[in-house]
Amino acid sequence: MTADDLTRIAVTGSAVRTAEEPLLAAGRGPELMRAAAWALAEHAAALLRERGPVAGATVAALVGPGNNGGDALFALAFLRRRGVAAVAVPVRRDDDGAPRWHAEGWAALQAAGGRRADAVPPEAALVVDGVLGTGFTGEYELPAAARALPADALVLACDVPSGVDADTGEVRGEALRADATVTFGALKSGLVLGEGAARAGTVHVVDIGLGPHLPTSPAVRLGVMDEAAARAAHPAPAAEAHKYTRGVVAVVAGSERYPGAAVLASAGALHTGAGMVHHAGPQTTRDLVLTAHPEALVSAKGPEPSRADAWVAGPGLDTEHDARRRWAGVLAALEERPEAALLADASALALLTAAELRSLRAAGTPVVLTPHAGEWSRLRERVPADGADAADPLAALRAWTAEHGATVLLKGPRTLVVAPDGEAWVVTGGGPDLAMGGTGDVLSGAIGAVLAADVARRSRARRAGEDPGPAPTARLAAAAAWLHAQAGADQARAGRITTATLPTALGARVARLWWPDDAEPEAVQ
Residue 69 among known ligand-binding residues:
yes
Residue 389 among known ligand-binding residues:
no
CA quadruple 373, 375, 376, 377: dihedral sign: positive
Residue 118 among known ligand-binding residues:
no
Residue 135 among known ligand-binding residues:
yes
Residue 207 among known ligand-binding residues:
no
Residue 199 among known ligand-binding residues:
no
Residue 137 among known ligand-binding residues:
yes
Residue 372 among known ligand-binding residues:
yes
Residue 495 among known ligand-binding residues:
no
Residue 181 among known ligand-binding residues:
no
DSSP 105-123: HHHHHHHHT-EE-SS--TT
Amino acid, single-letter form, for residue 408: V
Residues 6+ apart with CB under 8 A from 310: 247, 248, 249, 250, 340, 341, 342, 343, 448, 449, 451, 452, 455
Long-range contacts of 43-46 (CB under 8 A, 24+ apart): 43/156, 43/180, 43/182, 43/204, 44/75, 44/79, 44/126, 44/128, 44/156, 45/79, 45/82, 45/84
Residues 6+ apart with CB under 8 A from 342: 310, 311, 313, 330, 334, 360, 365, 366, 367, 368
Residue 130 among known ligand-binding residues:
no
**Euclidean distance between CA atoms 300 and 297, whole angstroms:** 11
Nearest by Cα to 425 from 140, 266, 229, 287? 229
Kindly state the helix (H) or strand (E) to which residue 260 belongs, with its residue range: helix 260-271
- What residue ranges in 281-351 does DSSP mark as E strands? 297-299, 310-313, 341-344
- The one-character DSSP state at 307 is G
**Euclidean distance between CA atoms 450 and 232, whole angstroms:** 11
Residue 414 among known ligand-binding residues:
yes
Residues 6+ apart with CB under 8 A from 168: 189, 190, 193, 194, 196, 391, 392, 393, 394
Residue 136 among known ligand-binding residues:
yes
Residue 226 among known ligand-binding residues:
no
CB atoms closer than 10 angstroms to residue 307: 16
CB atoms closer than 10 angstroms to residue 286: 20
Is there a contact between 191 and 167 (Cβ–Cβ < 8 Å)? no
Residue 134 among known ligand-binding residues:
yes
Q: At what angle do helices 103-112 and 67-80 cross, to 10 degrees?
A: 10
**Euclidean distance between CA atoms 126 and 88, whole angstroms:** 12
Amino acid, single-letter form, for residue 347: S
Residue 139 among known ligand-binding residues:
yes
CB atoms closer than 10 angstroms to residue 299: 12
Residue 405 among known ligand-binding residues:
no
Q: Which residue ranges are tagged as binding site?
A: 67-71, 129, 133-139, 159, 162, 261, 316, 372, 411-415, 440-441
Q: Which residue ranges are tagged as binding site for AMP?
A: 411-415, 440
Q: Which residue ranges are tagged as binding site for K(+)?
A: 68, 129, 162
Q: Which residue ranges are tagged as binding site for (6S)-NADPHX?
A: 67-71, 133-139, 159, 261, 316, 372, 441
